[in-house]
Structure 1
Amino acid sequence: MTSRGGRRGQAELRRDHRRDRYALCSAVFAAAVVFGAVAGPALLFDLPGTAEGLPPRAGPVLAPVLFAVRVVSVPARFRPADQPSQPGRTSPDS
């Protein structure tokens, strides 16, 4: 149902599904890149002291946080604006 009480059309449903798939795919990619950038050097190279232990613990914490932020922010950014019910009107109650 739309905000005006009507049913959503097939085109709107497809648009919403594409937006959601884009949000999930881009979130997985971004989380993988962040995990690799943060934890990767510590796993590949011998780092001294704290630098060896901190990145492998920070990567698994930052990646899910970034994933969640991306999944929530993409649909919020691409939410269509409500259109007035009549041309020239500012709101349906005008």
Structure 2
Amino acid sequence: MERRTQTERDAITVEIGYALVSGVLVAGLTFLGIAGPTTVFALPHAAERGLVVGGAVVGAVAFVLRVVHVLWRFARTPDQPSQPGRTSPDS
């Protein structure tokens, strides 16, 4: 098993942080989009509860999907060339 360099470990840490923060933002906005009308409109108690629970469930799913998407995309990204713009050792 090959050991990772400090740069690779730092890149993974940053990507995980980005995935979590963007996941929280997507989940929060999703929750607010679904449960937000309960703060504006006078709805029956059952409808309010349904929107809040539905918003929480859909927000949680959105969080998981966002984190998985970001980390999966990072895992498939090819390594960057050490010297950008150079296509062959002779150039």
TM over 0.5: yes
Q: 1:17 — aligned with what?
A: 13
| Mean Cα deviation higher: 56-65 or 74-83 | 74-83
Q: 2:32 — aligned with what?
A: 36
Deviation, 1:73, is 1.4
Q: TM-score, normalised by structure 1?
A: 0.70
Q: TM-score, normalised by structure 2?
A: 0.72
Identity %: 37
| Mean Cα deviation higher: 16-25 or 42-51 | 42-51
Return the structure number with greater relative CO, CA threshold 8 A, min gap 6: 2
Mark the runs of 5 or more structure 2 residues left unpaired by the alignment.
80-91
Deviation, 1:53, is 5.0
Are the counterparts in 2 of residues 43 and 56 from structure 1 also a CA contact under 8 Å?
A: no
Q: How many residues align?
A: 79
Superposed CA deviations along residues 14-70 of structure 1, whole A, max 9, x for unmatched, are 000000000000000000000001101123222479765542221011011111111
Q: Distance in 2 between matches of 1:42 and 1:81?
A: 42
Q: Which amino acid aligns with 2:60?
A: P
Q: Which amino acid aligns with 2:14?
A: R
Identify the match of residue 4 of structure 2 among 1, 8, 28.
8
Q: CA RMSD in A?
A: 2.3
Mark the runs of 5 or more structure 1 residues left unpaired by the alignment.
84-94
Identify the match of residue 59 of structure 1 among 45, 51, 55.
55
Q: 2:64 — aligned with what?
A: 68
